[in-house]
Amino acid sequence: MIFNKMVPELSVSNINVSKKFYVEILGFKVEYERKEDKFAFISFDGVQLMLDEGINGSWSTGMTEYPFGRGINFQFFVKDIEKIILNLNDNNIKLFKEPVISEYRINLEKQIFKEILVQDPDGYLLRFSELQQK
């Protein structure tokens, strides 16, 4: 297996709930897991994440309380944001931020993205962005 140079590891309160959210709803794939450690390595279109039910364990810098990951959002560039929105709606998961069209200057060029924000079961903020055609 080839690992990305950076792979965030998210402490989660329930590995099974988190796996269901990421895999069954968002479309991530379980690359491997260590069930005895309540750990899963997941991927989605080039993105890699680790999920670990070790909150307040040896990697923790302080007590973890909901919402986890305050001060950070994870941005995922996707090809089909509508499929993600549909899956979230079908599972009665409320968006943190409704779809919005955002324009960003990247050096001298402007690019337009359709974006949503959603919180995972532990409150991590996930931003999905799809590049729009000009």
The span from the CA of 117 to the CA of 127, in Å, is: 5
- The answer to whether residue 32 is domain-embedded is yes
Give the pTM. Answer: 0.91
- The answer to whether residue 120 is domain-embedded is yes
- The answer to whether residue 70 is domain-embedded is yes
- The answer to whether residue 3 is domain-embedded is no
The span from the CA of 88 to the CA of 82, in Å, is: 10
- Quick: pLDDT tens for 109-124: 999 999 999 999 999 9
Domain that holds residue 44: 9-56+65-131
- The answer to whether residue 39 is domain-embedded is yes
Q: How many structural domains is the chain composed of? A: 1
- Quick: pLDDT tens for 28-62: 999 999 999 999 999 999 999 999 998 766 677 77
45: domain CATH number is 3.10.180.10
Yes or no: say if 21 and 121 are a contact pair by the CB < 8 Å rule: yes
Structure tokens at 102: 């955002």
Yes or no: say if 112 and 131 are a contact pair by the CB < 8 Å rule: yes
- The answer to whether residue 1 is domain-embedded is no
